[in-house]
């Protein structure tokens, strides 16, 4: 299986090379040139554990890893040490809506699903490619990736990780989780800019050959823990396949029945994984792409025009506050029939004018993607409604998907079962949740956490208990211009 850059046909890599490099040297994203099929009868999947399903999926995509290597990575990553339930990703069903809880890992957001395995995959990839350099992970985070990546990479030999987050653009719990991170090899830096500024600067550093040489002299090579890395993306396919298997197992569907999947979307990584699951042969009819007020993707799927020239809103679903959705480039590449030249042209327009429009023929490829968005007051009503009617507490990101799902059902009367990707624990965003429930009367988010516990009767996760008295270890805040300098200072 070959991965190629979305921008040049000749820029190719094996799976392990793509994981090690993170991004292609031309600034494009390594993308599979053909999607493997599942090759296992669906009814058989229903008898498998999460780990077994993950093995089937990863083996199909990461073809230069041996079975033993993959099994070892999977066993280490999806252990009872890292997840608080043996199901790994349990489903909470309410009628036709099936909430796929992706937040039972160490940092209580779905990023744990891939970031608990990425360090193991990367370590194997380095060995396979006889790399004698230490790996320097640069990560831009909208709040959840940073913590999950550090939890995965903390004290992993021969790695160093630097996380950039938008100061003032993440929730207080998210920030506290990051700035209390332990590990000799972890660095956390706030920037006076938004997530897009951080991601763009990080991408620029990855493709700066001079900088690569400078860090190489110090014994390092760059890689990425963002969803631009296929080592992030491919493990995410597994939970959609596993979710389908769970629905068969619980008798909610029969093997072969169609389902829809709704995903609260920011950088387009999680929903792209669902798209790959569909391409592998999982019977998915419609993908529901749910955005918050930063609704650049809604506009794109409705009008064929991607336009980043718009205000950037800091919202109550901060992990989706993104205007430049990196992984859309991969979908566009597939929609053009894997035409790197055409994709490069569109991305060039985006870089120079901030917008591009795709023609109808390309857009035809997206006919089974439904896109809409929810604003902040919608989110609060949805959280309240879910609690009042079903006594189920959802986080603001999941609420975005919930609202857009309801709109989709209202519009189409489609009765197909829907999996809603539940991307974070409500405990990560206690202020918005308690605000929705009308109990937001203190400035201290950790007090709100206790109130949420009293309300929901769900115990506080270890991830929250752990930060309560943890000392702050990282305090620097810098301008976007100083990011490169700060990287060199960390070496
Ligand atoms: C990262 C994140 C998202 C957005 O996922 P993408 O893969 O960037 O589209 C949604 N919700 C939460 C809680 C997240 O952490």
pLDDT above 90 as % of the chain: 92
Nearest protein Cα to ligand 1, atom 1: 319
> Alpha carbon 474 to chain centroid distance?
24
The answer, yes or no, to whether residue 91 has pLDDT greater than 90, is yes
The predicted model gives 282-292 an average pLDDT of 98
Question: Ligand 1 mean position to 270 CA, how many Å?
Answer: 7
φ, ψ of residue 191 in degrees (nearest 5): -120, 150
397 within ligand 1 shell (Cβ under 6 A)? yes
Helical pair 145-153 and 172-179, crossing angle rounded to 10 deg: 20
116 within ligand 1 shell (Cβ under 6 A)? no
272 within ligand 1 shell (Cβ under 6 A)? no
Predicted pLDDT at 19: 97
Predicted pLDDT at 71: 98
The predicted model gives 264-291 an average pLDDT of 98
Q: Which of 71, 97, 111, 147 is catalytic?
A: 111
φ, ψ of residue 18 in degrees (nearest 5): -65, -40
Mean pLDDT over the full length of the chain: 95
144 within ligand 1 shell (Cβ under 6 A)? yes
Cα gap 112→9, rounded to integer Å: 32
264 within ligand 1 shell (Cβ under 6 A)? yes
CB atoms within 10 A of CB 299: 16
Note whether 282 and 240 are within 8 A (CB): yes
Of 286, 326, 269, nearest in space to 102 by CA: 269
pLDDT tens per residue across span 182-237 = 999 999 999 999 999 999 999 899 989 999 999 999 999 999 999 999 999 999 99
pLDDT tens per residue across span 101-160 = 999 999 999 999 999 999 999 999 999 999 899 999 999 998 899 999 999 999 999 999
The answer, yes or no, to whether residue 171 has pLDDT greater than 90, is no
The answer, yes or no, to whether residue 440 has pLDDT greater than 90, is no
270 within ligand 1 shell (Cβ under 6 A)? yes
**Residue in 239, 270, 272, 300 to alter for ligand 1 test, most ligand atoms within 8 A of Cβ:** 270
The answer, yes or no, to whether residue 484 has pLDDT greater than 90, is yes
pLDDT above 70 as % of the chain: 100
The answer, yes or no, to whether residue 444 has pLDDT greater than 90, is no
Nearest protein Cα to ligand 1, atom 2: 319
Of 254, 235, 7, nearest in space to 118 by CA: 235
pLDDT tens per residue across span 352-384 = 999 999 999 999 999 999 999 999 999 999 999
The predicted model gives 330-334 an average pLDDT of 98
Question: Ligand 1 mean position to 315 CA, how many Å?
Answer: 13
**What is the atom index within ligand 1 of the atom nearest the CA of 264?**
10
Predicted pLDDT at 142: 86
* Annotated catalytic residue 203: no
- Written as six digits, the tokens of 226 are 């963002």
The answer, yes or no, to whether residue 439 has pLDDT greater than 90, is no
The predicted model gives 465-484 an average pLDDT of 94
């Amino acid at each position: 299986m070959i991965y190629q850059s979305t921008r040049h046909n000749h820029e190719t890599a094996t799976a392990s090379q793509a994981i090690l490099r993170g991004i292609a040297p031309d600034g494009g994203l390594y993308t599979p040139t053909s999607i493997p099929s599942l090759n296992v009868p669906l009814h058989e999947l229903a008898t498998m554990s999460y780990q077994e399903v993950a093995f089937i999926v990863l083996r199909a995509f990461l073809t230069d890893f041996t079975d033993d290597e993959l099994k070892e990575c999977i066993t280490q990553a999806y252990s009872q040490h890292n997840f608080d339930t043996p199901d790994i990703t349990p489903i909470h069903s309410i009628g036709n809506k099936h909430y796929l809880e992706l937040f039972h890992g160490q940092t209580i957001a779905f990023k744990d699903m891939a970031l608990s395995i990425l360090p193991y995959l990367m370590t194997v990839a380095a060995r396979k490619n006889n790399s004698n350099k230490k790996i320097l992970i640069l990560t831009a985070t909208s709040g959840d990736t940073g913590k999950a990546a550090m939890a995965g990479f903390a004290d992993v030999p021969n790695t160093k990780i630097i996380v950039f987050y938008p100061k003032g653009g993440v929730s207080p719990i998210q920030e506290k989780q990051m700035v209390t991170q332990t590990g000799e090899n972890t660095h956390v830096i706030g920037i006076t800019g938004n997530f897009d500024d951080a991601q763009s600067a990080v991408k620029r550093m990855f493709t700066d050959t001079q900088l690569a040489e400078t860090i190489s002299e110090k014994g390092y090579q760059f890689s990425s823990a963002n969803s631009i890395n296929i080592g992030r993306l491919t493990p995410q396919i597994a939970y959609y396949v596993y979710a389908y298997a769970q629905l068969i197992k619980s008798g909610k569907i029969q093997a072969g029945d169609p389902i829809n999947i709704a995903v609260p979307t920011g950088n387009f990584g999680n929903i792209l994984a669902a798209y790959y699951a569909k391409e592998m042969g999982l019977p998915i009819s419609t993908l529901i792409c749910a955005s918050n007020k930063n609704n650049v993707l809604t506009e794109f799927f409705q009008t064929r025009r991607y336009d980043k020239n718009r205000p950037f809103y800091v919202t109550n679903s901060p992990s989706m506050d993104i205007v430049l959705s990196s992984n859309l480039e991969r979908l566009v590449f597939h929609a053009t029939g894997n035409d790197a030249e055409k994709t490069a042209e569109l991305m060039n327009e985006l870089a120079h004018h901030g917008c591009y429009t795709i023609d109808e023929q390309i857009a035809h490829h997206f006919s089974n993607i439904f896109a809409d968005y929810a604003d902040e007051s919608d989110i609060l009503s949805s959280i309240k409604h879910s609690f009042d009617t079903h006594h189920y507490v959802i986080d603001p990101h999941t609420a975005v998907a919930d609202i857009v799902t309801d709109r989709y059902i209202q519009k189409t009367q489609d009765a197909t079962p829907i999996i809603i990707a539940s991307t974070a624990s409500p405990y990560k965003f206690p202020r918005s949740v308690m605000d929705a429930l009308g109990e937001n009367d203190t400035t201290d988010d950790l007090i709100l956490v206790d109130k949420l516990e009293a309300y929901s009767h769900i115990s506080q996760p270890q991830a929250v208990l752990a930060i309560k008295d943890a000392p702050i270890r990282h305090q620097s805040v810098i301008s976007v211009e100083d990011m490169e300098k700060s990287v060199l200072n960390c070496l």
